[in-house]
Every structure is written in C-alpha cells, then in structure tokens.
C-alpha cells in the first residue's frame, strides 16, 4: 500500500501553524461612530484587512482560509453588535 499526498498535507499543516501563530495575540484596534453606517463599514473593512495582513500568505491554505473567513465574520458581527448596543445606550440615556 502506498500513501500519497502526505508532503502536501504536511506543508499545509506547517503553513497553518505559522498562520495561527501570526494570529495569536491582539489583532489591533478599531474605532467607529455607531451612528454612521459608513464608519461601521470602514471599521469592518479595517478588521478584515488586519486579518489578511496577518495570514495573507496562507489564505489559499485549505485549513487557514476557512478560519480567516470565520474570524472576519465574527469580527463583523461583533462590530455591528457593539454599534447597536451603543445606539441603544445613547437612546436610553436621552430619555
């Protein structure tokens, strides 16, 4: 029995390890105006760029590509949620 493809798989795992190490720690900081949709979208774009900068060389890796996409989606959701919470807080303090 001959097993093929192990070299490619080992390369993918090595790349994935490097990419995950690059993502370890603080990614960065974003600021946005919760009442300005363009500001919110700019913050989301900035976070996506930060992820791409950290793992850009490995985005085609079948392990890292989906992880990076998932991270971007989670950050997007978090920014939208924080903006909504800030608007609600501002609205309740105006009452």
Q: CA-CA distance, 81 to 31, in Å (whole number)? A: 14
Burial (CB count within 10 angstroms: exposed 0-12, middle 13-18, buried 19+), residue 43: buried
The answer as to whether 77 is a domain residue is yes
Residue range 9-61, pLDDT digits in tens:
888 899 889 888 888 888 899 999 999 999 999 999 999 999 999 888 888 89
Query: Which one is predicted more confidently, 71 or 5?
Result: 71
The answer to whether residue 56 is domain-embedded is yes
5 occurs within a structural domain? no
What's the mean pLDDT in 58-65? 90
Q: What is the pTM of this model?
A: 0.82
- The answer to the question of residue 20 being in a domain is no
Residue 70: give the domain boundaries.
Answer: 31-94
Give the CA dihedral 83, 47, 23, 9, nearest 10 degrees. 120
- Which pLDDT does position 22 carry in this prediction? 84
Give the count of domains, the chain: 1
Q: Is 31 left (phi over 0), alpha (psi -120 to 50) or beta?
A: beta
Give CA–CA dist 56/82, Å, rounded: 27
Assess if residue 44 is contained within a domain.
Answer: yes
């Amino acid at each position: 029995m001959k097993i093929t493809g192990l070299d490619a798989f080992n390369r993918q795992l090595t790349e994935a390890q490097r990419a995950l190490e690059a993502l370890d720690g603080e990614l960065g900081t974003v600021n946005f105006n919760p009442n300005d949709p363009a500001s919110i979208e700019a913050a989301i774009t900035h976070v996506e760029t930060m992820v791409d900068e950290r793992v850009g060389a490995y985005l085609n890796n079948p392990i890292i590509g989906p992880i990076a996409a998932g991270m971007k989606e989670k950050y997007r959701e978090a920014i939208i949620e924080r903006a909504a919470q800030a608007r609600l807080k501002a609205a309740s303090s105006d009452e």
